[in-house]
Amino acid sequence: MTNHKCTLWPSGEILELNDQETLLTQLKKAGKKIKSSCGGCATCSDCAIIVKSGELNLTAQTFEELRLLGNVFHITKERLSCQTRILGDVTLDISAHEKPTKEKVSKPSVPKSTTVRLKKREEVERTAIESKEKNQEKPSDTWYRHWEKEDEDPNKPKRLGGNKRVKPFNFNDSE
Q: What are 42-101's pLDDT values in tens digits?
A: 888 899 999 999 999 999 999 999 999 888 888 999 999 999 999 999 999 998 887 665
Average pLDDT over residues 114-143: 78
Average pLDDT over residues 26-55: 91
State how far the Cα of 50 lies from the Cα of 79, in Å rounded to an integer.
6
Rounded to 5 degrees, what are φ and ψ at 98?
Answer: -90, -5
pLDDT at residue 172 tops 70: yes
Question: What is the pLDDT confidence band of residue 141, given thresholds at 50, 70 and 90?
Answer: low
The string of pLDDT tens digits covering residues 116-129 is 677 888 988 998 89
Task: Collect all residues with Cβ–Cβ distance below 8 Å to 163 and sequence separation of at least 6.
Answer: none
List the one residue out of 3, 17, 1 whose CA is nearest residue 94. Answer: 17
What is the model's pLDDT at position 59? 93
Query: Quick one: 3-98 is in which CATH superfamily?
Result: Beta-grasp domain (3.10.20.30)
Question: What number of H helices and E strands is found in the chain?
Answer: 5, 5
State how far the Cα of 19 lies from the Cα of 22, in Å rounded to an integer.
8
State how far the Cα of 43 lies from the Cα of 131, in Å rounded to an integer.
57
pTM score, whole prediction: 0.55
**Among the residues of 39-103, which ranges form H helices?**
63-69, 73-76, 95-98
pLDDT at residue 135 tops 90: no
Q: Across 27-41, 94-108, 148-162, which has the greatest mean pLDDT? A: 27-41
State how far the Cα of 123 lies from the Cα of 48, in Å rounded to an integer.
65
State how far the Cα of 49 lies from the Cα of 46, in Å rounded to an integer.
9
List the one residue out of 4, 3, 13 whose CA is nearest residue 95. Answer: 13
Name the more confident of 115 and 27.
Answer: 27
